[in-house]
Structure 1
């Protein structure tokens, strides 16, 4: 699941760099990065966990929605990480969903959670039947317990995925199944967190069918499972989202017993920067960054002399000095955003000259010519 990069418009790029046109990048090749990572849960207890990457998702339960992953604290510590600037990136979490009816270890008989809290029920009024109204209360109760009783620190500041799979208990009543899922989503929303759906299109169809999600799931992102290769997972980025108005945010594939995840369309992408100005002593050089995305990237600049960083030259512009004469100047541009691997691209290098020295050479040549 996800550790959390659309295109900066040409106009915005121009505004950032002082550029006045965009034709220079019309046909420029685009480089990009991709956010990848892993999800873990109770089956990984006692095992070496994979190296933390851009995406980290931790299972809250131990197979069913009423249980707790015994390694939850350890795995959250694995998934939570700090960026170089000290920003805390919290792991996403996922929770099991179900609609077990009277076969479960608890089933509501009123619009009240297992812990005794009242539930505002958009599916009707629960009286103990295996219907949508009671399924909603069941889901809400399970979701509330996941948030408050499982030990998920900073629960409101994490992204929650609802794991919808056929291996859990479901009813033949697909509207009731959807109500249970929506109840969980509503409880997590009430705690201040956002939710998405983890499933495969086939399993989602078997469990929910053509039942129409309400506003609580409208626009929820999808995490598509089922692939066995990276290429197969990437192909799933083009799948239809599981909920109306949503999008496929992430895909999963399983290889050598490890769950791998890759974000769809959130890497940093950009075109090679272009130097502008005369490469002469005292004449400022600026950088045109071209088209980068997504919107909201932070840019860092490192100017180099013959491939070696120039001390303190980290602004969008650089004025060559006499020390640069006869060398080649270039700039490295790094675009970054929290949750995505940064992308660094380097401009072509240009040779620096000194107009004063050139003029002296011209004057000397003229003097020698007249002396003859």
Structure 2
């Protein structure tokens, strides 16, 4: 939800009044929100674990997230969140990194890291990849990357590549989820769900805290998607449900073209992180426009590649609610 200048002005007035009344010692609530470790996306909620086995074509829904008990007075955090020019929405620069940025030679043989450059110093947030390319293979240096983000007091979020299961994985995880694993589509949906569970273990082991997880939908070299778009789509839907049922908000990373060739007309209606390729900041901001919609969601970030780095910039309105999308270390 985007805040207008009028709303922000009203908020500032209330905050200042509250500070005066409290002798400038007021403190604020942690802005936790729904669907994700702290997000307020207005998506339907998922059936809680333990419900009846569901069809892989069911749209994943979101269960309510418990509001965290505030550790500080709500007033202080609200004031701290209004930094710089109050009510001014400006694009915020960030980055995304994963296994390619690990020290040379780490990871699985088909996805060995090359020691790609880290984020630029000006990056205010970093979206961290959980996988070493395809699903069921963890980012081999995620813990070190999280430690660096924490040491630099940056904001953080997470993303995971979703992939079509290898035959052995398809068999192993056919029943590891809420879908009917005796059917082909049900087994595939359970594989997507199991990929989410695997990634959550990876994320928690590395100490990564995030209000949401982005699902990266694109071709995965050496781990190709099938030619059956419906089958591919249920894998993605299964992953979406896995994250939602764990209490996380979700969004998707892709382009209109890549989404269409992998999952066809699947429409989750969740927030979008849109890629602009080897272009520019201006092109990434243009990707926030209404002509670049991927699957019916609102734009949050645009990405471009520059000097072998993945660069990102927030879309209009997002800078006014960064706590919805990132965890501040």
TM-score, structure 2 normalization: 0.63
Q: Among residues 80, 93, 102, which one is paired with 1:45 in the alignment?
A: 102
Q: Among residues 240, 253, 263, which one is paired with 1:198 in the alignment?
A: 253
Q: Among residues 61, 78, 102, which one is paired with 2:131 in the alignment?
A: 61
Tell me whether 1:106 sits opposite 2:169 in the alignment.
yes
Q: 1:140 to 1:231 in 2, by over 3 A?
A: same
Alignment of 1:336-347 (within 5 A): 338=323
Q: 1:44 to 1:149 in 2, by over 3 A?
A: closer
| CA distance in 2 between partners of 1:68 and 1:252 (Å) | 23
| CA distance in 2 between partners of 1:32 and 1:137 (Å) | 41
Q: 1:243 to 1:65 in 2, by over 3 A?
A: same
Please state how far the C-alpha of 1:98 moved relative to its aligned partner: 1.3
**Contact 2:174 2:191 (C-alpha < 8 Å) held by counterparts:** no
**Contact 1:54 1:339 (C-alpha < 8 Å) held by counterparts:** no
Q: C-alpha deviations, 1:157-215, integer Å up to 9, x for none? A: 4421111111342122211111101111111112211111111110001011124x3xx
Q: Among residues 293, 308, 325, which one is paired with 1:257 in the alignment?
A: 308
Q: What is the aligned-residue RMSD (CA, Å)?
A: 3.1
**Contact 2:124 2:155 (C-alpha < 8 Å) held by counterparts:** no
Alignment of 1:292-331 (within 5 A): 294=320
| CA distance in 2 between partners of 1:44 and 1:188 (Å) | 25
Q: 1:10 to 1:144 in 2, by over 3 A?
A: closer
Structure 1 or 2, whichever has the larger Rg, is: 1
Decide which moves more: 44-53 or 192-201: 44-53
Q: 1:15 to 1:110 in 2, by over 3 A?
A: closer
Tell me whether 1:147 sits opposite 2:212 in the alignment.
no
Decide which moves more: 41-50 or 160-169: 41-50
Tell me whether 1:96 sits opposite 2:161 in the alignment.
yes
| CA distance in 2 between partners of 1:189 and 1:43 (Å) | 27
Tell me whether 1:181 sits opposite 2:211 in the alignment.
no
> 1:134: which partner in 2?
187
Q: Among residues 148, 165, 171, which one is paired with 1:78 in the alignment?
A: 148
Q: 1:110 to 1:159 in 2, by over 3 A?
A: closer
| CA distance in 1 between partners of 2:151 and 2:323 (Å) | 12
Please state how far the C-alpha of 1:8 moved relative to its aligned partner: 3.0
**Contact 1:136 1:181 (C-alpha < 8 Å) held by counterparts:** yes
Structure 1 gaps of 5+ residues are 19-29, 84-88, 114-118, 269-293, 297-336, 341-372
> 1:223: which partner in 2?
273
Between Structure 1 and Structure 2, how many residues are aligned?
236
**Contact 2:93 2:122 (C-alpha < 8 Å) held by counterparts:** no
Structure 2 gaps of 5+ residues are 17-86, 104-114
SS, match of residue 126 in structure 1 = coil
Please state how far the C-alpha of 1:13 moved relative to its aligned partner: 4.1
| CA distance in 2 between partners of 1:260 and 1:339 (Å) | 20
Question: If each structure's strand is expressed as a fraction of its own residues, which one has the higher value?
Answer: 1
TM-score, structure 1 normalization: 0.56
| CA distance in 1 between partners of 2:11 and 2:142 (Å) | 47
